[in-house]
Amino acid sequence: MADLKGYKGKSLDFLNENDIGIGDSVKIIADLAYTGILMPRYETSEDSHIVLKLKSGYNIGIELEEIEKIEKISSSEKTVVKENTKQTNPDLPKVLLLSTGGTIASTVDYRTGAVTPALTASDLNDAVPEIANIANVDAQVLFSEYSENLQPEHWIETAKKLKDLVDSDYKGIVIAHGTDTMHYSSAFLSFALSGFPIPVVLVGSQRSSDRPSSDAAVNLLAAIRFVVKIKTKGVFIVMHHNDTDDTVACHLGTRVRKNHTSKRSAFETIGNNPAFVINNDKIMNNLEKEFFTKKEFEPKLKIDTKVALVKYHPGYDPKQIENLIESGYKAIIFEGTGLGHVGKTMYNSIKKANESGLFLGMTSQCIDGRVRMTVYESGRDLMDLGIIPLNDIIPEVALVKTMWALGISENIDDVKKLMLENIASEFTE
């Protein structure tokens, strides 16, 4: 019996009757004629349609009652495992590509529908053959997780891996990463590996490699070109820049957010232009000066996750602040309104948090601009209650930096000093 993962009831019976399995190439006559690959189903609510991947790379669902005829063109074949071999050019620099589970430079298994990392040497060369003209790439899988599943312990594991490579002969390190939490990871690596001697780039893809509009290959090529050609150090995120197909942006790892759910150009530098813009072999430097101020490599890889990110809104229950105190939290980063405000209903709870020894920092929930708590009386009142204004640091970056600072010291004065120090360009001048 054919492999028919995800199918049941009428759709399962229909496919068995026609001897069609997942991965088979089929032609379907319905309202139109469709040719494509039968894909597995992930929906479980009903059994009245089948899923086809068209030659364009897009998947469509076709209702059984609309199908007049289905014809098998060819059967799926088992994937052949390739040898992990490659040709190297001794004149090219070495680059390490670490995968954490993103879909960048991935391949599609049409038997299962899975998009899997292409991280053997032969897979990489097949997926993006232009890489061989830029660098000799070694590829390793660090772990395989959707980025929403990545936790601070994964940041630590990644940082330890990089720390062990500090004396390697790699020109740079590229980390394939899912996009949803990429800017959290880049922020931690920026602080934990301050002064790392070679560039580290996190790169992802908004659209997987089976889609015609995929940005996977162009982003990966740009990331590798960047670490090979650039002479600065630091942690960056490389992602698509705008509506053109070939332009890629390189953002400082502490000044970037994902600002759109699905656009290729979802990532944007907050408050400025991207640090670099990459267009094929050309790299435009937008930095007015060398951004990386700490010259010595001083790895600090500890972390304390007892930090809360609180987005204030009208109706926010201040008892939640007291719950954080009782739960043993050591710091709260507020996303305040405007220049850095929260309602006066919060004041008593904030006072208790300050008296309990928590670090209290203020950021703004506005996308751009900086906190200025001295402008209005309410901001000055909050400062009197112990809240520290954190300039224009991005709230998520403030969260990660506080976790990192608490990992270094639990002394509140030490934490305050670290939080106000511009360590990895988390504050703009």
Within 109-165, residue ranges assigned H as helices are 121-127, 152-163
- Name 33's bridge partners: 29
Q: What is the spatial distance between Cα 414 and Cα 406, in angstroms, rounded to a whole number? A: 9
Considering 3, 109, 138, 180, which one is annotated as catalytic? 180
Angle between helix axes 319-326 and 347-355 (nearest 10 degrees) is 20
Q: What is the spatial distance between Cα 291 and Cα 425, in angstroms, rounded to a whole number? A: 6
Residues 6+ apart with CB under 8 A from 113: 22, 39, 40, 53
> Is 210 considered catalytic here?
no
> Is 179 considered catalytic here?
yes
Considering 258, 304, 392, 401, which one is annotated as catalytic? 258
Query: Which of these, 291, 308, 171, lies nearest to 229 by C-alpha position?
Result: 171
Distance from chain centroid for Cα 313: 27
Phi, psi of 220, rounded to the nearest 5 degrees = -65, -45
∠ CA 14-18-24 to the nearest 5 degrees? 105
Residues 6+ apart with CB under 8 A from 6: 40, 41, 42, 43, 44
> Is 180 considered catalytic here?
yes
Query: Which of these, 139, 31, 147, lies nearest to 82 by C-alpha position?
Result: 139
Considering 103, 107, 269, 402, which one is annotated as catalytic? 103
> Is 44 considered catalytic here?
no
Pairing assessment for the beta strands 114-117 and 106-109 based on DSSP bridges: antiparallel
Query: Which of these, 317, 350, 310, lies nearest to 333 by C-alpha position?
Result: 310
Q: What is the spatial distance between Cα 137 and Cα 132, in angstroms, rounded to a whole number? A: 8
CB atoms within 10 A of CB 63: 12
Q: Are 220 and 131 in contact (CB under 8 A)?
A: yes
Considering 100, 158, 179, 181, which one is annotated as catalytic? 179
- Catalytic residues, by residue number, are 103, 179-180, 258
